[in-house]
């Protein structure tokens, strides 16, 4: 099946995944994580991309972002790469590309899936067996949302602000949401959308997205269309 062109929708959340080449590590120590986050923060500001949630794992990164225009997300990723890859290669005595091809991204219907995606991303280290809980992993946005420590990389989405009227209320509500887990159907939907680049949302929203963007946003059904309508079963 042919890959659909990457879909970037201004002012709409996107889930982005980027992995190391051949499964290799892309962060080796605390200095690498810190350097990457510094460049990410600078690039997000320069290219007008709001970072709502993130997790950096040894071999991959996960971001939940909203770009202001169609070019900003790609520009941000390229800018960070132009700074981080030479830094990493020089530090570890390697050369060439660091990432496994182009990054994967899926546009998200905020009202239906943004908060679920945020928690899914922040639990990546737990799923990978790197931490017993998201509060114990340093390289994610969960400590920010849970009120453990502020994070200058993060721009809170309006749906996070809607969790409460005060920082304490929002943090407590987010902790409760995280503790409740995600339904299996949501987990599977998020994983499939992120890996295949499909929009994540309701059927009505996807149809509206196709009309708005004037292009196909989901892969066509398998098989050739019938030239003549098949007879009804009897």
The pLDDT, as a whole number, for residue 1 is: 41
Residue 4 reports pLDDT greater than 60: no
**Model confidence over 91-104: pLDDT tens digits?**
999 999 999 988 99
pLDDT band at 215 (very low <50, low <70, confident <90, very high): low
List, in order of start, the domains of the chain with CATH numbers. Answer: 14-209 (3.30.70.1290)
What's the distance, CA 124 to chain centroid? Answer: 11
Mean pLDDT of 108-116: 94
pLDDT value of residue 229: 52
The half-sphere exposure of 99 on its side-chain side, counting CA atoms within 13 A, is: 17
**pLDDT at position 2 over 50:** no
Ramachandran angles phi, psi of 51, nearest 5°: -95, 110
- Choice among 24-33, 166-175, 181-190 with the minimum mean pLDDT: 181-190
Element (H, E) at 33: helix 30-46
The burial class, CB within 10 Å (0-12 / 13-18 / 19+), for 183 is exposed
Would you place residue 168 in the very low, low, confident or very high pLDDT band (cuts 50, 70, 90)? very high
Instruction: Tell me the pTM.
Output: 0.88
Q: Which helix (H) or strand (E) holds 104?
A: strand 104-107
pLDDT band at 25, cuts 50/70/90?
A: very high
Cα distance between the two ends of the chain: 33
């Amino acid at each position: 099946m042919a890959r659909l062109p990457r879909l970037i929708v201004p002012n709409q959340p996107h889930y982005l995944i980027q992995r190391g080449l051949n499964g290799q590590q892309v962060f080796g120590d605390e200095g690498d994580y810190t350097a990457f986050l510094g460049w990410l923060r600078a690039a997000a500001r320069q290219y007008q991309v709001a970072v709502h949630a993130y997790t950096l794992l040894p071999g991959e990164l996960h971001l939940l972002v909203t770009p202001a225009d169609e070019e900003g997300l790609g520009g941000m990723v390229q800018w960070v790469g132009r700074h981080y890859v030479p830094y990493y290669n020089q530090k570890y005595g390697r050369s060439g590309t660091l990432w496994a091809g182009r990054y994967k991204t899926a546009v998200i219907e905020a009202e239906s899936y943004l908060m679920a995606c945020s928690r899914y991303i922040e639990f990546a280290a737990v799923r990978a067996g790197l931490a017993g809980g998201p509060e114990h992993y340093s390289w994610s946005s969960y400590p920010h949302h849970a009120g453990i420590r502020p994070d200058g990389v993060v721009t809170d989405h309006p749906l996070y602000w809607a969790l409460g009227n005060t920082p304490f209320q929002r943090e407590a509500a987010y902790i409760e949401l995280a503790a409740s887990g995600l339904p299996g159907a949501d987990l599977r939907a998020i994983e499939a959308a992120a890996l295949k680049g499909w929009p994540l949302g309701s059927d009505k929203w996807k149809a509206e997205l196709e009309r708005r963007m004037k292009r196909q946003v989901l892969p066509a059904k398998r098989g050739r269309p019938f030239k003549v309508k098949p007879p009804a079963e009897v």
